């Protein structure tokens, strides 16, 4: 880290840059890696934005984290991953929608949420051993122990899978929580105000209709944290 | 519609263009506006992507639909809305995460989802009456009848609110549903396979601690569809 660099990963925070500096409601933002990790680890689906000649594209995809990096993957035939394999600027955003904030005035209605935006250049991971290790980490995140039960990827399947990575060097967390904040005079109004909480949860596992008799779902699957 | 145009809104579908044509798994795609409406109407939070000099940005925000248009809004002071007020290319993506698809092989694990990507140029709505009408529509979507109960926006508040719109001219739905599809030989394996469903639901309304005694939450709030 150069002396002139703003605070970054070396002190447990992500870098403050023009695009991670929060101008409005700065109390709702954090650059602390510990906070950023917590929001990332509470999700499975992110949105990756990148620019094509025709304009911006935002694609939903699964992701996971190891240390100060996020990873996402997919078919090597996917248009998104073909482009990102060339190393391109991306923004990877993870958002948890926690509730609707219902105020006494229309104007002060809001949303409770936690989101992390990560800016950087997509980095393809091409080493087969590292790809295998990362895919195992991803499965471990979803269902601990399952990697050793399923048929593992063949050399061909690994080749057909593109793996992408992005460091948390330039990332920012934004969030809102708690009750509505109304104008003082509006607290007199006779209208309900509060929060409608929204949660995302895993339900009861549904067997594949082709499942052999007597094979039970892995324990702990329902407790998967997703938000 | 010019004779040379590909099928578009005139026949109940969105346009097939280079970026809405689905190359892989085309069976999982639809351009039918009826299908696109259903996915949009099941959600409240979208991700809007746009390009700045420094690179792409993906911002989560609330949205709603009227006819063949989506709308989103926020503080006129927001960086995103300042940029988008200048009419810029955007991609607005709505994604519902429906479940984890767990196959017998690592390779065939997948995600059940529904998503709509809408491409186009952001269109600011500046007419005060139309802004009011759209904000009322948004609230009606969340809590029918509430618009007439809350304090409605003042002229100043309306001015502080930016409203953006995007037509569904160039949109595509992609989805996956159902059980895993494994390689034939893998069906012999003694490993659980199936779907872990994931749902997003509204919970019990939480009163604002400052709520006056005896004011009850509106009926039907918990049944809000979010996914």
Provide ipTM, 2 decimals: 0.92
Instruction: Please report the beta strands in chain A, taking only residues with DSSP state E, as ranges in sequence order.
Output: 29-30, 45-52, 55-66, 69-75, 89-102, 110-121, 123-125, 161-167, 170-176, 194-202, 206-207
Measure in Å the smallest separation between the Cα of A3 and chain B Cα atoms: 23
Question: Residue B197: enclosing H or E segment and its boundaries?
Answer: strand B194-202
Query: For residues B29 and B25, what is the distance between their CA atoms, to the nearest angstrom?
Result: 8
Q: How confident is the model at residue A1 (pLDDT cuts 50, 70, 90)?
A: very low
Q: Select from B109, B118, B192 the residue whose CB has the most chain A CBs within 10 Å, as the one to mutate to test that interface.
A: B192
Best of A106, A115, A116, A226 to disrupt the B interface by mutation (most B CBs within 10 Å)? A106
Residue B36 to residue B115: CA distance in whole angstroms: 9
Taking CB atoms and an 8 Å limit, are A106 and B152 in contact across chains? Answer: yes
pLDDT attached to residue B25: 67
Query: Quick one: average pLDDT of A181-208?
Result: 94
Both tokens of residue B204?
């019990």
Q: Are B112 and B178 in contact (CB under 8 A)?
A: yes
Question: Which residue of chain B comes nearest to A89, CA vs CA?
Answer: B55
**Nearest-angstrom CA–CA distance, A58 and B118:** 9
Among candidate residues A200, A93, A216, the one with its CA nearest the CA of residue A143: A216
Are A93 and B23 a contacting pair at CB < 8 A? no
Residue-wise pLDDT tens digits, A160-192: 999 999 999 999 999 999 999 999 999 999 999
B16-54: pLDDT as tens digits: 787 777 666 665 889 999 999 999 999 999 999 999 999
Residue A27 pLDDT greater than 50, yes or no: yes
């Amino acid at each position: 880290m150069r002396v002139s660099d703003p605070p970054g990963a070396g002190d447990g925070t992500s870098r403050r840059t023009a695009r991670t500096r929060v101008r409005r409601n700065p109390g709702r933002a954090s650059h602390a890696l510990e906070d950023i990790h917590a929001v990332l680890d509470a999700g499975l689906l992110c949105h990756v934005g990148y620019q094509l000649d025709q304009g911006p594209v935002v694609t939903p995809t699964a992701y996971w984290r190891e240390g100060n990096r996020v990873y996402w993957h997919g078919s090597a035939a996917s248009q998104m991953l073909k482009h990102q394999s060339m190393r391109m600027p991306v923004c990877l955003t993870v958002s948890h929608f926690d509730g609707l904030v219902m105020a006494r005035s229309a104007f002060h209605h809001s949303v409770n949420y936690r989101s992390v935006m990560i800016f950087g250049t997509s980095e393809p991971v091409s080493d087969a051993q590292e790809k295998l290790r990362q895919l195992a980490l991803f499965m471990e995140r979803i269902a601990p122990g399952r990697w050793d039960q399923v048929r593992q990827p063949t050399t061909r399947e690994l080749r057909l899978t593109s793996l992408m990575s992005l460091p948390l060097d330039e990332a920012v967390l934004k969030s809102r929580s708690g009750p509505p904040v109304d104008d003082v005079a509006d607290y007199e109004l006779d209208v309900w105000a509060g929060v409608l909480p929204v949660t995302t949860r895993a339900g009861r596992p549904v067997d594949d209709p082709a499942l052999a008799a007597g094979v039970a779902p892995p324990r702990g699957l329902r407790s998967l944290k997703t938000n």
